[in-house]
Amino acid sequence: MGSSFGRCFRLTTFGESHGRAVGAVVEGCPAGLELSERDVQAELDRRRPGQSAVTTRRAEEDRVEILSGVFEGRTTGAPIAMVVYNRSFNSAPYEVVRRVPRPGHADLSYRLKYGHWDYRGGGRASGRETIARVAGGAVAKRLLSLIGVEVLGHTLEIAGVRAGRVEVEHLRRAESTSVRCADPEAARLMEERILEAKSQGDSVGGVVEVVALNVPPGLGEPVFDKLDADIAKAMMSIGAVKGVEIGSGFACARMRGSEHNDAFYLDGGRVRCRSNNSGGVLGGISTGMPIVVRVAVKPTPSISREQESVDLEEMRGTSIRVEGMHDPCIVPRIVPVCEAMLALTLADHAIRAGVINPCRVHPL
Ligand SMILES: Cc1cc2nc3c(=O)[nH]c(=O)nc-3n(C[C@H](O)[C@H](O)[C@H](O)COP(=O)(O)O)c2cc1C
């Protein structure tokens, strides 16, 4: 079912939205890395709903337990299993989607492919699956911090409102707004647009930007395992993500070579780029410039407005009005998920490139 990601640093996720639990198994994390439930919980708390007026009021506490792979506060090199029990859910509103699929969600395709599947709360296709990604990403972030790599995400656009230019050093400000946007005026407008859509029983989408700083040159493998190819796969594997750009992205199609090429210069013996249209990757290999990724997120499919659908038991046309608590905009909550997926990809490639020792983080 494609539940694993990564080659040397590998995340496997398990669990369904309304099943007993969701969780992650991380394989390939070297021994000796300091890791606690608190480290993982801090990242999970950023993904949790119910944090502001623009997210759903669903009460999900999402307490993580580390079951294995950590001894005396450090990883042992063994698989790290992490679990979050599902404690607060109501499956009743989902009975209908078994036979009447929600437009825009995965109900139809799961039914056509598997016939028998856990449709409650969206099952494996629920946003709750991303708890496991964020937990795995927390481990990857800690590992990357050993080589000075930092991964930061923020909201660039929601419902057509775009943030003004934000300097990298100000990106952390994004955490203080309800929509995770570092431009306070744009954040206010974004919140307005989300609440407006919500009051109309509708939803909106947007764009998330994720940046990785201090990435060493040399991560990524020619030909099929290019760093940008793996980043694109990582991001596209997140539910509701419909597009990925690296560096200048689609804008490159309208630029000239003289504009798009990032000129090189020497900075204390290191080659640097004057601009970063390549988004920190050339030929699929990191150059040492920041990795810059943008992700297009679609409007939340579950909306309370009446929509056309079909009854697959009676094979007739019908309509559906989705009940339950859904975010009118997924963008703010997807930011930590995108950070996690970038961190997982970079950790995997850092081990593959020999930048991080696969066995232990400290020499003997
Ligand atoms: C963090 C997160 C939260 C989500 N929350 C919801 C939600 O509340 N309601 C909903 O209908 N979809 C939600 N989604 C989106 C669905 O999971 C996604 O649209 C669905 O799996 C279909 O996949 P696709 O959009 O990639 O085709 C969420 C996704 C993520 C990543």
The predicted structure's pLDDT at residue 58: 64
Within a domain: residue 115? Answer: yes
Atom 25 in ligand 1: residue holding the nearest Cα: 240
Q: Which two tokens stand for residue 148?
A: 């000075």
- Give me the pLDDT at residue 246, please: 98
CA distance 292 to 329: 23
Q: What is the pLDDT of residue 93?
A: 86
Examine residue 41 and state whether it is found in any structural domain, yes or no: no
Q: Name the closest-CA residue to atom 16, ligand 1.
A: 239
Instruction: Tell me the two tokens of residue 237.
Output: 């594997």
Helix, coil or strand: residue 205: coil
On whether residue 73 sits in a domain, the answer given is no
User: pLDDT-derived band of residue 98, with 50, 70 and 90 as boundaries?
Assistant: very high
pLDDT band at residue 56 using 50, 70 and 90 as cut-offs: low
| pLDDT digits 0-9 by tens, 23-49 | 999 999 999 999 999 999 999 999 887
CA nearest neighbour of 241 among 323, 154, 335:
335
User: How do residues 120-164 score in pLDDT, each as one tens digit?
Assistant: 999 999 999 999 999 999 999 999 999 999 999 999 999 999 999
Q: Is the CB of 151 within 6 Å of ligand 1?
A: no
d(CA 189, CA 285): 38
Give the least confident one: 99-108, 343-352, 354-363.
Answer: 354-363
Compute, in angstroms, the gap from residue 39 CA to the centroid of ligand 1: 25
Largest distance between two CA atoms of the chain:
72
Kindly state whether residue 303 falls inside one of the protein's structural domains: yes
Give me the amino acid identity at 280: G
- Output the domain CATH number for residue 206: 3.60.150.10
**R_g (Cα) of the chain, nearest Å:** 21
The model's confidence at residue 364, banded by pLDDT at 50, 70 and 90, is low
Mean pLDDT of 206-212: 98
Say if ligand 1 is within 6 A of residue 105 CB. yes
Contacts of 254 (CB under 8 A, 6+ apart): none
Can you tell me the mean pLDDT for 300-322? Answer: 96
The protein residue with its alpha carbon nearest to ligand 1, atom 29, reads 127
Answer yes or no: are the C-beta atoms of 65 and 82 closer than 8 Å: yes
> Is 97 near ligand 1, meaning CB less than 6 Å away?
no
Ligand 1 centre to CA of 240 (Å) is 5
Is any ligand 1 atom within 6 A of the Cβ of residue 296?
no
Q: What percent of the chain has pLDDT over 90?
A: 89
**Nearest residue CA, atom 4 of ligand 1?**
127
pLDDT tier at 88 (50, 70, 90 boundaries)?
A: confident
pLDDT score, position 105: 97
Q: Peptide bond before 322: cis, by omega within 30 degrees of 0? A: no
> In this prediction, what percent of the chain has a pLDDT beyond 70?
98
The arithmetic mean of pLDDT across residues 239-265, rounded, is 98
Structurally, the chain folds into a number of domains equal to 1
Residue 363 pLDDT more than 80?
no
346 falls within a domain: yes
CB 144 within 8 A of CB 347: yes
The response to whether residue 295 sits with its C-beta less than 6 Å from ligand 1 reads no
Q: What is the Cα–Cα distance from 55 to 202, expressed in whole angstroms?
A: 13
Check residue 348 and give its pLDDT.
98
Does 237 reside within a domain?
yes
CA of 125 to the centre of ligand 1 (A): 7
Query: Comparing C-alpha atoms, which of 322, 325, 331, 230 is closest to residue 285?
Result: 230
pLDDT band at 170 (very low <50, low <70, confident <90, very high): confident
Q: Is residue 25 included in any domain, yes or no?
A: no
Across the strands, what pairs with 151?
Answer: 212
Residue ranges making up the domain that contains 168: 91-352
| 322 Cβ below 6 A of ligand 1 | no
pLDDT at 51 over 80: no
Position 325 in a domain: yes
